[in-house]
Chains A and B, each alone.
Chain A
């Protein structure tokens, strides 16, 4: 098992203060980064193989290299919206080690030449935002932010922005609109944010965990970082395990660890006497896997090959005491609530899926509805500006595909239950 990187000494008292962070070697990577040319920094990030930890898994170095050269105002935005159900890793990173993130943002801003940067944190994380705010004040006082940082001639203004409760603002262009003070509606892409992002300027957007890994990559060098993990999934990953497990929480693992070791070894598996019915490998938006898939290696490519995705690294375990219809209803209800309403397939598709699943529950559905539901999911995927609709269609579609029998049994049981209720009045 490799050493901890992001979680190194995470429970050390006072790590959220600049003194303790510096004592543990903090802000040394920043000094090292300032001694390197921009191009070499970006090359280091690319060579490290670091893939975005927010969900899409795109190479961070490549994303940074898309930012055009030139004198225009550029921005770095850290996505700390973390609203994907099941995900809570960024919360722990921000709360316990905010300076690691700040250092990562400064290095990324320096690499792409951004002099104004933002951390967009979801409004619900009020305590974490206060901690981060205090850390930003400390960093400013210590000269890590502001003008001519550490004598490098590089200026950076880093601001914290608190969101107000909208899942869609975790989508990068929705986040940018929200940051610009609008409703958080996603934008048509292209142009991608790297070309035309915040206030129309080139913008690099990365997740908290991605940016928190940057100081470690600079510190240990790209080669050594790339040696951790497996091919095309390098480094360590925080996994948030929740649902029906004995020890829910965040665990830092080497990518490529068997899934069984994470769910049973680290998180303790389902409660005694229960079996795993299904599990979401990457947040509630990922297609579900079953107990048969537990021996798969937990990395980007294996999860994709298994028909799902690693996403944000949030594993939600559902045991056999739960009904899949309830799980599907929760999902559909959530996405219907959070759909911004801009694209018709998503707005109507999520709403009707929710309505159709509630018909199953109240006994007015027929088995044919399952086919209609599956076809609705096909109509959503790929037909919207962003992937919110897909994020419902994929898991709900996979639940129907993998647990069709259970859906049919539930439809029939609910139908009979309703019939008895209706007939009760007649027979009395």
Chain B
């Protein structure tokens, strides 16, 4: 007779990341370096910014009464170019905007669509929120993960409600919504994602008629127009 497997016993604290001495704050035990210079706005003289990126960010800055509003558009511009918000890209954007890279980093880490870790440039989201999960979204995500395993171009992840519960379970491929995705079409979808093709053209949200029977041309009055 052996002892019960201790690894299976409850470990209540594992879901919270812990640092030194059980603290939840990284670096809490390191004293602040009072001699260090405060964060600085990158010097235009030694920061090379590609003309395209500069033009894009400056156009965004001109749209708003306060240039800080261009933070998210600027980070999106960096992400479009580099695939994620690279430290170098953030530095360049900060230089154009006249803010510190730390400020832009603080913004980037708040939002789910801005990636602050290296990842593939193709963004694929599977909604796993309540309506979609009632319709099998978790299985869909698992299947798609299997199909796209090892593909470094594609950044696939489960995402919070994407606002398309009428086509649950659904997938967003670089902003193109498709659904409902039957499990037997997952290999085809994965192939299209990997090849950069238009994903499941017949199942794209923008082609879907209204569900309301009072609307002329809706799914209810025109059944062949719908895949419900």
A residues apposed to B, CB below 8 Å: 1, 4, 7, 9-12, 73, 82-88, 90-92, 95-96, 116, 122-127, 159, 161-167, 178-184, 199, 240, 242-244, 246-252, 266-267, 284, 314, 316, 318-319, 322, 326-327, 330-331, 334, 337-338, 340, 351, 355, 358-359, 362, 364, 418, 421-423, 425-426, 428
Contacts and interface: CB of A to CB of B under 8 A. Distances in A.
B199 to A, nearest CB: 12
Contacts of B5: 422, 425
A330 B135 CA distance: 13
Given A165-B112, A316-B131, A127 B176 contact: yes
B163 A83 contact: yes
Interface stretch (B36-44, B183-191, B216-224): B216-224
Nearest to B133: A330
B163 A125 contact: yes
B104 to A, nearest CB: 9
8 contacts: A7-B214, A11-B209, A86-B165, A123-B111, A182-B71, A199-B66, A244-B134, A334-B129
A159 B130 contact: no
Contacts of B217: 11-12
B162 interface: yes
Contacts of B175: 124, 126-127
State the main secondary structure of chain B at its contact with A. Answer: loop
Which are the 9 A-B pairs with shortest beta-carbon distances? A249-B211, A126-B175, A242-B165, A164-B111, A165-B112, A165-B113, A181-B71, A181-B68, A85-B161
A249 B110 contact: no
Interface of B: 1-5, 8, 10, 12, 15-16, 63-73, 75-76, 106-107, 110-114, 125, 128-131, 133-135, 159-168, 172, 174-177, 205-206, 209-220, 228
- Output the residue of A12, A180, A421 with the most chain B CB within 10 A: A180
Given A181-B68, A181-B69, A248 B8 contact: no
B161 A248 contact: no
A73 B65 CA distance: 11
A357 to B, nearest CB: 12
B131 A426 contact: no
A249 B180 CA distance: 12
Contacts of A330: 128-130, 133
Nearest to A238: B212
A362 B162 CA distance: 29
A88 B164 contact: yes
B117 to A, nearest CB: 15
A416 to B, nearest CB: 14
A86 B130 contact: yes
A242 B73 contact: no
Given A88-B165, A183-B106, A355-B15, A334 B130 contact: yes
B108 to A, nearest CB: 8
A127 B176 CA distance: 7
